Protein backbone atom coordinates (compact mmCIF):
# COMPACT_ATOMS: atom_id res chain seq x y z
CA UNK A 1 0.00 0.00 0.00
CA UNK A 2 1.92 3.01 -1.31
CA UNK A 3 -0.91 5.49 -1.66
CA UNK A 4 0.95 8.15 0.30
CA UNK A 5 4.68 8.45 -0.10
CA UNK A 6 7.29 10.43 1.70
CA UNK A 7 10.45 9.68 -0.19
CA UNK A 8 12.87 11.43 2.12
CA UNK A 9 13.33 9.52 5.36
CA UNK A 10 15.32 12.37 6.87
CA UNK A 11 16.03 16.06 6.51
CA UNK A 12 18.59 18.17 8.34
CA UNK A 13 18.24 21.96 8.45
CA UNK A 14 19.98 24.75 10.28
CA UNK A 15 17.98 26.78 12.77
CA UNK A 16 16.39 29.82 11.16
CA UNK A 17 16.34 28.31 7.68
CA UNK A 18 13.36 26.91 5.82
CA UNK A 19 12.44 23.23 6.13
CA UNK A 20 10.56 21.74 3.21
CA UNK A 21 9.00 18.33 3.64
CA UNK A 22 7.48 16.62 0.64
CA UNK A 23 4.69 14.14 0.12
CA UNK A 24 3.23 12.45 -2.96
CA UNK A 25 0.01 10.53 -3.32
CA UNK A 26 -1.43 8.27 -5.95
CA UNK A 27 -5.12 8.02 -5.11
CA UNK A 28 -7.08 10.70 -6.97
CA UNK A 29 -9.96 10.19 -4.54
CA UNK A 30 -7.99 11.83 -1.75
CA UNK A 31 -9.43 15.25 -1.07
CA UNK A 32 -8.11 16.15 2.34
CA UNK A 33 -4.54 16.19 3.52
CA UNK A 34 -2.97 16.58 6.91
CA UNK A 35 0.45 16.86 8.46
CA UNK A 36 1.17 15.33 11.83
CA UNK A 37 4.26 15.74 13.97
CA UNK A 38 5.50 12.98 16.23
CA UNK A 39 8.02 13.11 19.04
CA UNK A 40 9.51 9.89 20.45
CA UNK A 41 7.22 8.07 22.90
CA UNK A 42 4.28 10.27 21.93
CA UNK A 43 1.40 9.91 19.52
CA UNK A 44 1.11 11.92 16.31
CA UNK A 45 0.03 15.52 16.91
CA UNK A 46 -2.01 17.36 14.31
CA UNK A 47 -0.15 20.25 12.72
CA UNK A 48 -1.98 21.61 9.71
CA UNK A 49 -4.39 20.46 7.00
CA UNK A 50 -5.59 21.42 3.55
CA UNK A 51 -8.59 20.43 1.49
CA UNK A 52 -8.41 19.86 -2.22
CA UNK A 53 -10.30 23.06 -2.99
CA UNK A 54 -7.30 25.07 -1.84
CA UNK A 55 -3.70 25.13 -2.94
CA UNK A 56 -2.24 26.75 0.16
CA UNK A 57 -2.96 26.92 3.85
CA UNK A 58 -0.91 28.84 6.35
CA UNK A 59 -0.72 28.71 10.13
CA UNK A 60 2.05 30.73 11.72
CA UNK A 61 5.40 29.28 10.72
CA UNK A 62 3.76 26.37 8.91
CA UNK A 63 2.44 26.46 5.36
CA UNK A 64 1.13 23.54 3.36
CA UNK A 65 1.04 23.69 -0.43
CA UNK A 66 -1.05 21.36 -2.58
CA UNK A 67 -0.44 20.68 -6.26
CA UNK A 68 -3.35 18.50 -7.33
CA UNK A 69 -2.20 17.99 -10.88
CA UNK A 70 1.11 16.62 -9.64
CA UNK A 71 -0.51 14.85 -6.67
CA UNK A 72 2.07 16.49 -4.47
CA UNK A 73 2.01 18.42 -1.27
CA UNK A 74 4.68 20.04 0.80
CA UNK A 75 5.05 21.45 4.26
CA UNK A 76 7.17 24.54 4.74
CA UNK A 77 8.44 25.54 8.15
CA UNK A 78 9.88 29.03 8.34
CA UNK A 79 11.94 29.76 10.36
CA UNK A 80 12.89 26.31 11.57
CA UNK A 81 13.56 25.89 15.28
CA UNK A 82 15.31 23.11 17.21
CA UNK A 83 11.98 22.23 18.84
CA UNK A 84 10.66 21.35 15.39
CA UNK A 85 12.93 18.29 15.36
CA UNK A 86 10.50 15.37 15.09
CA UNK A 87 9.08 12.89 12.63
CA UNK A 88 6.59 14.50 10.25
CA UNK A 89 3.84 12.37 8.74
CA UNK A 90 1.80 13.27 5.73
CA UNK A 91 -1.71 11.79 5.76
CA UNK A 92 -4.63 11.77 3.36
CA UNK A 93 -8.33 10.98 3.45
CA UNK A 94 -10.69 10.15 0.59
CA UNK A 95 -14.28 11.09 -0.16
CA UNK A 96 -15.47 7.55 0.28
CA UNK A 97 -14.42 7.37 3.90
CA UNK A 98 -15.99 10.03 6.04
CA UNK A 99 -15.11 8.64 9.39
CA UNK A 100 -11.47 9.35 9.86
CA UNK A 101 -9.63 6.67 7.96
CA UNK A 102 -6.31 8.28 7.21
CA UNK A 103 -3.60 6.95 4.94
CA UNK A 104 -0.15 7.81 6.23
CA UNK A 105 3.23 8.17 4.64
CA UNK A 106 6.28 6.61 6.28
CA UNK A 107 7.36 9.89 7.78
CA UNK A 108 10.35 12.19 7.49
CA UNK A 109 12.68 12.73 10.42
CA UNK A 110 13.43 16.45 10.61
CA UNK A 111 16.48 17.55 12.55
CA UNK A 112 16.98 21.25 13.13
CA UNK A 113 20.45 22.06 14.38
CA UNK A 114 21.55 25.30 16.03
Partner 1 sequence: EPEVTQTPSHQVTQMGQEVILRCVPISNHLYFYWYRQILGQKVEFLVSFYNNEISEKSEIFDDQFSVERPDGSNFTLKIRSTKLEDSAMYFCASNRDRGSYNSPLHFGNGTRLTVT
- Residue 25, interface with partner 1 (CB under 8 A)? no
For the segment 54-83, give every residue that binds partner 1 (CB under 8 A): none
Contact between 113 and partner 1 (CB under 8 A)? no
CB-based contacts of 113, cutoff 8 Å, min separation 6: 12, 13, 14, 15, 82
Among 34, 73, 75, 112, binds partner 1 (CB under 8 A): 34
Other beta carbons within 10 Å of 84: 18
User: In whole angstroms, how close is the CB of 17 to partner 1 at the nearest point?
Assistant: 27
Amino acid sequence: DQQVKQNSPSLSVQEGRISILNCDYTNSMFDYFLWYKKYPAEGPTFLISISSIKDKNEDGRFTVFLNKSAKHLSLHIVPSQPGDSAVYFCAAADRGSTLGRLYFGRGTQLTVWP
